[in-house]
Structure formats: structure tokens, C-alpha cells
Amino acid sequence: MSKTLLRGGRLVDPANGRDGVFDLLIDGDRIARVGRDLPIEAGVKVVDVPSGLVVVPGLIDMHVHLREPGQEHKETVATGTASAVAGGFTAVACMPNTNPVNDNAGVTGYILAKAAAANLARVYPIGAVSRGQKGEQLADIAELKKAGCVALTDDGHPVSTALLMRRALEYAGMFDLPIIEHCEEQTLKSDGVAHEGFHASALGLRGIPGECESIMASRDIALAELTRGIVHIAHMSARQTLDAVRYGKLRGAKVTCEVTPHHFVLTDEMLGAPMAYDTNVKMNPPLREDADRDAMLAGLKDGSIDVIATDHAPHHADEKQVEFDRAPFGITGLETAVSLCFDRLVHAGVVSLPRLIELLSVNPARILRVPGGSLAEGAPADITILAPDMNVTIDVKTMKSRSKNTPFDGWTLRGGVAATIVGGRVVYVNDSMDFRI
């Protein structure tokens, strides 16, 4: 088994209380030792980590649409995991709104087989709450758990009724599986396409108020309390939703939540010039107002938000190049997240680097109950090497994702990814840097 010593560089491992200059020895697929000035054993490959780089536990994106099976023109497990490792993610959890829906062991097994063949990032499938995500009957939760699903969701839609959500929380709770909820009160959403406010009105677009999200989140948090089930609120966009989560946590509900980079960086101002009617600013939930974006930043800072997840939602250019009303919701996120987080959170003084690693690695691992989030001796060698001061110009042409639907093309940001290691194997090296591993 090969051994590699990552020597020097800052190591940030909040799960084990480490932040400083440490060496890390990888032995095969595991972390063998972490310490200062580790001895160099015979046959060990030594990699000197430059002082400006940071070694952290592999990043985990718990909200990714890999689109396979069924929509391989948008993304596949292979292209999606190539995109993930280029973005610094060693693991992704993938949403079940594929075709067919991941509501049975056959589809879960298919995704896992594709992931094994791609052999890049780890893939944790998320099963559907309801059969076909139709909101009628519960899927076979025991079967999905046995097949390898780590959570359940009807993402793309909320769980249709309070009764179905109650049963899902009860049933999934028996298997220690969280329900990830896409919060949207359907009658308020109606055929809205953008945040209800000045900018949507100015463009003549139908609006979706923040309460559309917070009302559903409140329902689900109440049901989590009733059932002692576990609910995770996906892609929060509205300040009212964060208030509902905070209140639920105060009462002791088993509730956690995530925010996407686009919801803490952008607002509905993006709907206007120069991107007016650009469908790369159409996503669900929509970009909201300054007060919502500022609430998300405050939640990241004060600890009430648990996770940053991308909601990587690839769509083909032909599908996006239509009228705003008719375009599908969603943007890609895997290859822009780290740069946005560094630039807008760490360098802006909103969160510390250890706190960012909690949001991108420690907490997703804890919530999904998967390995990772830690550089402890004996843990899998899933490691990301970050370059906090690297200048990155986002360029869709160089992205690994099969889809190009991002509003961040051409943005210059400070901070990026130097290398990604999964199970001791180097699966990505940023060739725009001098660093080699």
C-alpha cells in the first residue's frame, strides 16, 4: 500500500480541534497519522504543502442533482462527480428526481454502480419519500435504506400533505433517516417564477413570496416535534424560514437546515439589467431581497445554519434558452461554491475558515450519518486542499459539468481548490497552480 506524507501547510480539522501547521500521513485509503514533524519512513512519497494552502477534511455537498438515470443530456454520475472533485467535494448526496425516480433499490443500485465505475467522488443516494415522488403513497423506506440511501426527499416538490409528512417522519425515524424537505406551499407558489417584489413586478414576472417557504417549513418542524422524526430544511431562501428553524431548534425539534451559495451571495436585483430575463437567475427557491440575503449571512455567522449545499441543478442550454416563464428552475453549483464561500464569507469576515469547514464537511457528514468530516487517524483519506488566496475567474468553458447554467460566469473571486483526494487517491489537481501532488 502506498504512503504519502502531506508535510506542512495549515491543517484545519474542527472535528478534532486542530488548526495549525501539521503533517498528515496517508496509508492506502486511510489517514494513518496527524502530527507535527512526523518522521519520514522509507518508501513514503513526501509532498510539501506550501504555507498558503490549507488541508481540510473532504468537502461534502448534500444537495446535488446528478440527473442519471434519465436525463443524461444534462449530467451523468460520471460528469457530475468530475464536477464535484474539481470543486473540492469528495462526496455528494444525489437527489431522487431522476427518471425513473429513485424510489426503489433498483435505481439506488444503478446510481451506486455508476458511481463505482466513475470512481471519483463518493456518491450517497437520497431516496424519494413517496412513490414516483407523486405525493400519494410512501416509498418502501426500509428497502431504500438497505440499498444505501442516506436520506429521503421529494425534492423539486414538498412532501404533498401533512399526513404523508407525518407518516414519513415516523417511518424514516425508525431507520434514523432524515427527511430533507423542499419547502414550498403549493397554492402560494402557484405558477410563480421569481421572488414576489419590485424586480419581478418590473419585469412582469409572477411572484413567489417568502412565506411560501416558511409556512411549509413551520408545518414540517411542527411535525418533526410531534413524531420525534428528523427534518432537514433544504436550500433556505427566506428570512422567515430561518426564524422558523431557529424557533424549532430552541424548542428541541430535530431540525437542521442548509443554504446555497447563490442565496447568500445574490438577490432578486439580478433579475434586472444586465441579466434581465436571463434564465440563469431562475432557480427554486428564487433569489430574494437584501434582508433575506443578510439574514442568511447572519445565520451562517451565528451558527443557526448548519450546512452550505449547492443544489447543483444542471440543465441543458437548449432547455434554458427559452422565455423566463418556461425555463426549468436551477443552476449548477459544484464548481463555484468554494470560491464564493471564500470570497463572500471567509475573506469578507462573515465566518472563520474552521466554521466554513463545519458547514461544508463536518455537519453534512453528521446529518447524513456518513463517514467524513474528520481528519482523525484511521478515518478514510478524503481530503481537500484549499487555496484561500488563489484568484479564480469562473469560466464555464473549463467546467467539468455537462451543463453550463450558472450566473457566475466571468466572475473573479479570491479562493479556490488546489487538489482533491478520495480514499487516498488524488482525483483532482488544479493545473493552473504550481502545486503538484
Enzyme catalytic residues: 311
Q: In this chain, which stretch among 16-24, 35-43, 327-335, 347-355 interacts with ligand DOR, using CB under 6 A? A: 327-335
> Residue 100's binding partner, choosing from Zn ion, ligand DOR, none, with beta-carbon cut-off 5 to 8 A by kind?
none
- Other beta carbons within 10 angstroms of residue 354's beta carbon come to 17
Q: Which of residues 211-270 bind ligand DOR (CB under 6 A)?
A: none
CB of 341 to ligand DOR, least distance (A): 19
Half-sphere exposure of 93 (CA within 13 A, CB side): 30
Q: Does residue 330 belong to the site contacting ligand DOR (CB under 6 A)?
A: yes
Which CB, 7 or 320, lies closer to ligand DOR?
A: 320
Q: How many residues interact with ligand DOR (rule CB under 6 A)?
A: 12
What residues does 138 pair with on adjacent strands?
130
- Contact with Zn ion (CB under 5 A) among 61, 155, 268, 358: 155
Q: Does residue 182 belong to the site contacting Zn ion (CB under 5 A)?
A: yes
CB of 99 to ligand DOR, least distance (A): 11
Q: Residue 432: CB partners within 8 Å, gap ≥ 6? A: none
What residues does 380 pair with on adjacent strands?
30
- Assigned C-alpha cell, 187: 397554492
CB of 386 to ligand DOR, least distance (A): 27
Q: What x-and-dash track marks residues 306-345 binding Zn ion by CB under 5 A?
A: ----------------------------------------
Q: Does residue 65 belong to the site contacting ligand DOR (CB under 6 A)?
A: yes
CB of 74 to ligand DOR, least distance (A): 8
- Reading phi first (left if > 0) and then psi (alpha if -120 to 50, else beta), residue 125 is in beta
CA distance 416 to 336: 9
CB of 197 to Zn ion, least distance (A): 21
Look at residues 339, 313, 402, 377 and name the one whose alpha carbon lies nearest to residue 59. 339
CB of 269 to ligand DOR, least distance (A): 19
Q: In this chain, which stretch among 265-273, 325-333, 338-346, 375-383 interacts with ligand DOR, using CB under 6 A? A: 325-333
Rg of the chain over CA atoms, in angstroms? 21
Q: What x-and-dash track marks residues 290-319 binding ligand DOR by CB under 6 A?
A: ---------------------x-x------
Q: Does residue 194 belong to the site contacting ligand DOR (CB under 6 A)?
A: no
Measured in residues, the chain has a length of 437
Q: Residue 400: CB partners within 8 Å, gap ≥ 6? A: 79, 82, 83, 86, 335
- Contact with ligand DOR (CB under 6 A) among 68, 75, 155, 258: 155
Which CB, 90 or 133, lies closer to ligand DOR?
A: 133
Q: Does residue 262 belong to the site contacting Zn ion (CB under 5 A)?
A: no
> Residue 330's binding partner, choosing from Zn ion, ligand DOR, none, with beta-carbon cut-off 5 to 8 A by kind?
ligand DOR
Q: Does residue 182 belong to the site contacting ligand DOR (CB under 6 A)?
A: yes
Q: Does residue 208 belong to the site contacting ligand DOR (CB under 6 A)?
A: no
Q: Does residue 97 belong to the site contacting ligand DOR (CB under 6 A)?
A: yes
Strand pairing class (122-125; 179-181) = unpaired
Q: Which of residues 1-40 bind Zn ion (CB under 5 A)?
A: none
What residues does 233 pair with on adjacent strands?
181, 257
Q: Does residue 283 belong to the site contacting ligand DOR (CB under 6 A)?
A: yes
Which CB, 14 or 285, lies closer to ligand DOR?
A: 285
The residues of the shown chain that bind ligand DOR, judged by CB under 6 A, are 65, 97, 155-156, 182, 283-284, 311, 313, 328-330
